[in-house]
A and B are shown apart, each in its own frame.
Chain A
Amino acid sequence: SAVISQKPSRDICQRGTSLTIQCQVDSQVTMMFWYRQQPGQSLTLIATANQGSEATYESGFVIDKFPISRPNLTFSTLTVSNMSPEDSSIYLCSVEGMTGGGGGYTFGSGTRLTVV
Chain B
Amino acid sequence: AQTVTQSQPEMSVQEAETVTLSCTYDTSENNYYLFWYKQPPSRQMILVIRQEAYKQQNATENRFSVNFQKAAKSFSLKISDSQLGDTAMYFCAFMKAVSGGTSYGKLTFGQGTILTVHP
Contact = CB atoms under 8 A, between A and B. Distances in A.
Interface of A: 30-31, 33, 37, 41-45, 48, 58, 90, 92, 94, 96-97, 100-107, 109-110, 112
A46 to B, nearest CB: 11
Interface of B: 32-33, 35, 42-45, 47, 50, 52, 91, 95, 97, 101-104, 106-107, 109-112
A102 B52 contact: yes
Given A97-B47, A109-B43, A110-B44, A103 B111 contact: no
Contacts of B112: 41-42
A100 B42 contact: no
A104 B45 contact: no
12 contacts: A30-B104, A42-B91, A42-B111, A43-B91, A101-B52, A101-B101, A101-B102, A103-B103, A104-B47, A104-B103, A106-B47, A109-B43
Contacts of B95: 102
Q: Which 10 A-B pairs have the closest CB atoms?
A: A102-B33, A107-B45, A101-B101, A104-B47, A42-B109, A110-B43, A43-B109, A102-B103, A104-B50, A42-B111
Given A101-B103, A103-B103, A92 B110 contact: no
A112 B50 contact: no
B107 A96 contact: no
A31 B104 contact: yes
A42 B106 contact: no
